[in-house]
Amino acid sequence: MKQIIYKLLILIALGLLVILSFYSLMPNPEGFSAENKLGFSIEAANEHVKNISEKPHSIGTKAHSEVRNYIVQELQSLGVQVQTQKGYALNNEGVITVPENIIAKLSGNDPSSKNDLMIMTHYDSAVHSSFGASDAGSGVAVILETIRVFLKKEIQHKNNIIICFTDAEEVGLNGAELFVKEHPWANNIGLVLNFEARGSGGPSNTILETNSGNAKLIKAFSKANPEYPMATSLMYSVYKKLPNDTDATVLREQKNIPSFFFAFIDDHYDYHTANDTFKNLDQNSLAHQASYLTALMPYFANANLTELQSESESVYFNFPGIGMIHYGYAIIIPLLIIAWVFFLAICVYAIRKKIFTAFSLVKSIAWFLLILIASSLVTYFGYQLIYHQYPEYIENQHGFTSNGHYYIYAFVSISLAVVFLFYRAIYKGESLKRTLPAPIFIWLLINTIISIAFKGAAYFIWPLFFGLLNYFLVIKYNRPNLWLLLFFSIPAIFIFSPLIQFFPVGLGLKMLVVSSLFSVLLIGLLMPIFIHYRKIHWLGVLFIIVASISLLMAHHKAEFSNVNQKPNSLLYLLDADQEKAWWATYDHQLDKFNSPYFTEENEVIDSVIFHSKYNSRFTKQSKAEVKPITEATILVKEDSTFQQKATRKFSVKIAPQRKINRMEIFADQQVNFYNLKVNGLDQDYDKKKIFYQDRDSEKLLTYYAIDRDTLSLDFEIKKGEIFDLKIYEASNDLLENKNFNINERTQNMMPRPFVLNDAIITKQSLRLNAE
């Protein structure tokens, strides 16, 4: 009986350690209440978030101006001199708009060249229905409250502190582009701290942006000593391979300014949606952002920021209770060699003691590989089956559904069940000691590959070292203390458990296979504990029960409801040249909101791809009544004085005659434009690709319109070219326009995010002849 209780307590402790590995990542928001020693008030920060996220406030809206005025007033109430920077900004993807940045400076007492610290976030919300509480109202709130505390405490700082709330981040990082290109303060910045969000909860990840090595940056970050650092060189390496950019990317690319940016990414289903509200903002996430800035701002405001760039790279990771651990790439291979030597020495010792033979070692490795493959295949095909069983999931563009966490629990549990049941079936009646080298060997192979091809994950070697120690203890002693084995398993639990959840949360449920692999590999490191459970298959049964409950919960929350709203879309498209009109949608499944506008014949007439994150196309179109929507006035002028024989020069002015939100220009993909200027701006020619040449689609330009401003295009085209310039104007007022009577969405619906939505679109064609 004592042995049963003993082993049961080990299992309970193991479960508690897994839970602790997640809860240790973020601070308790109560630590940032008004009475805390830092002086930071999370209550005050929440008031800022509430005020900023009262309405959707994408660029060009009335609410956008109201948010800007609020931020300016809050800064002025702190005694800070504020300026705004407004102007056209054209990015390298062909997106132009008129951002208005909010900028201020806290002057240092001993500023020097290239040594200003910049604190940054953006204040516009995603187009067009997001309230922007997390993305990035949370960043604005944390910065405003930290500045208040900083000034109240009269903290001395040598460096100037530049505060920049950028605009138009959501449409193309245009505010950062404007600041870098036109503001003189951009020339003296040594480091950027940028705050972001890609969801509404979870721990805030620290990512480095640098053109050089990370060694000095991470060393300085460690010295600043934020209390809950969530930073690993794995995330740094993954981020460098992804296409996602932030405002800080613009400063790195154009001014070689390094940065840290901080972003929480859980509850990803709220990202850019109408559910990005204050109610859904995780208070722990807000506190985590505050923990970074309250520690880093005083430190870097007094550091020599010119010394942060280096050629060398570091492996780094955080560990609860210890903080940041970092070391150079030079010791990756020596550590790997030590691990291999340690492993081989234990294996030789075990073979001499006749615990297993060389043949049984190879056999156990083969079986463990089979378990890895089996669990991965079960997860892959299992999720494919689920995805087809619930057709509503196709409406989710994030890749992570609102019940996604239940699928993580389910498929991780299924993977663990596969492990324990396979072990029972394969090694029934045999000593499980002989299985211990197999997962260690696989981990060594993984670390060998990592040390060559993906050095950012080289810290995986440390849990392996402790796994080797447990392996030795089991081989050396017949009945080692399970509490000791559990203690040496803590590094594996604390490092790998959060990663099991991170990949599907951050990159979508299609990454569940990665979670499955990590789960099996983690159990492999914990096998020195589990081999002491004679009826190991009961653990498999337990995890089947957990998986079943999780799948039932996921099923219960799969249907659209007031909490899990169905995203939908409806657009009206008027071809002014043909005097024809269509209803259009991006939905695969119609609902009560948009189904009245479509018939069985819903052929897509216009396959245009408007500017959006996922390059979405219309899924259905249906004929509609032509309404009196005013199209733009277009003026075309060919420069008759332009004598160059190979090309012809044109000027096109497009003047909106109604309040629009955006304008999109398309032209035949085969037509190359030369020396294109948009409202007097041209693209930087030091870029490898010029957006208007050698295009991979018909898209030429996207203009997010402000105040009915005219769009002017000056360009050259080759002599002999004849083509149509297609001009689409869109206003997000379909539901308010008096020409239409559109029913409101019910509580179990929300506007489809990421796409042009609730819009009235006019299409005009302009024939250009360069004969």
Confidence category of residue 535, pLDDT binned at 50, 70, 90? confident
Confidence category of residue 432, pLDDT binned at 50, 70, 90? confident
* DSSP result, 373-415: HHHHHHHHHHHHHHHHH-GGGGG-SSS--TTHHHHHHHHHHHH
Of 168-182, 300-314, 672-686, least confident by mean pLDDT is: 672-686
Residue partners of 518: CB distance under 8 A and separation at least 6: 496, 499, 500, 503
**What pLDDT sits at residue 57?**
97
Question: What domains lie within the chain, and their CATH numbers?
Answer: 25-319 (3.40.630.10), 330-556 (no CATH), 566-771 (no CATH)
What single DSSP character describes residue 731? Answer: E
The residue type at 289? Q
Residue 222 near residue 303 (C-beta atoms within 8 A): no
**What pLDDT sits at residue 288?**
96
What is the tens place of the pLDDT at every residue in 11-44?
A: 999 999 999 999 999 999 988 887 667 789 999 9
Pairwise pLDDT comparison (67 vs 2), residue with the higher score: 67
**CA–CA distance, 170 with 694 (Å, rounded to integer):** 26
* DSSP result, 697-731: SSEEEEEE-STT--EEEEEEEETT-EEEEEEEEEE
- The pair of structure tokens assigned to 544 is 């089947």
**CA–CA distance, 639 with 675 (Å, rounded to integer):** 14
Distances (CA, A) of 134 to 208, 273, 293, 558, 664: 21, 11, 16, 24, 29
Give the SS3 label for residue 56: coil
Average pLDDT over the chain, rounded to an integer: 92
- The pair of structure tokens assigned to 592 is 């009560």
Read off the pLDDT of each residue in 613-638 and give the average, rounded to a whole number: 92
Q: What are phi and psi of 272, to 5 degrees?
A: 65, 15
- The pair of structure tokens assigned to 590 is 């119609």
Nearest to 513 by CA among 505, 503, 523, 522: 503
What is the tens place of the pLDDT at every residue in 446-478?
A: 999 999 999 999 999 999 999 999 999 999 887
**What pLDDT sits at residue 688?**
63
The residue type at 381? F
Residue partners of 35: CB distance under 8 A and separation at least 6: none
What is the tens place of the pLDDT at every residue in 652-687?
A: 999 999 999 999 999 999 998 999 999 999 887 555
- The pair of structure tokens assigned to 164 is 């920049």
H/E element holding 767?
strand 759-769
The residue type at 166? T
Rg (CA), the chain: 29
% of the chain residues with pLDDT over 70: 98
Q: Which residues of 297-327 are buried (b: 16+ CB within 10 A; e: fewer)?
A: bbbbbbbebeebbeeebbbbbbbeeeebebe
For residue 243, pLDDT beyond 80: no
H/E element holding 193?
strand 189-197
**CA–CA distance, 428 with 426 (Å, rounded to integer):** 6
**What pLDDT sits at residue 599?**
83
Confidence category of residue 91, pLDDT binned at 50, 70, 90? very high
Q: What sections of 508-557 are H helices per DSSP?
A: 512-530, 537-556
* DSSP result, 99-151: -EEEEEEE--SS--TT-EEEEEEE-PPPTTT---IIIIIIHHHHHHHHHHHHH
Highest mean pLDDT among 408-417, 470-479, 497-506: 408-417
* DSSP result, 163-204: EEEES-HHHHSHHHHHHHHH-GGGGGEEEEEEEEESSSEEEE
Of 67-81, 346-360, 660-674, least confident by mean pLDDT is: 346-360
Confidence category of residue 429, pLDDT binned at 50, 70, 90? low
**What pLDDT sits at residue 686?**
57
Residue 268 near residue 199 (C-beta atoms within 8 A): yes
Confidence category of residue 249, pLDDT binned at 50, 70, 90? very high
**What pLDDT sits at residue 137?**
97
% of the chain residues with pLDDT over 90: 78
Confidence category of residue 533, pLDDT binned at 50, 70, 90? confident
For residue 268, pLDDT beyond 60: yes
Alpha carbon dihedral 669, 672, 675, 677, in 10-degree steps, equals: -20
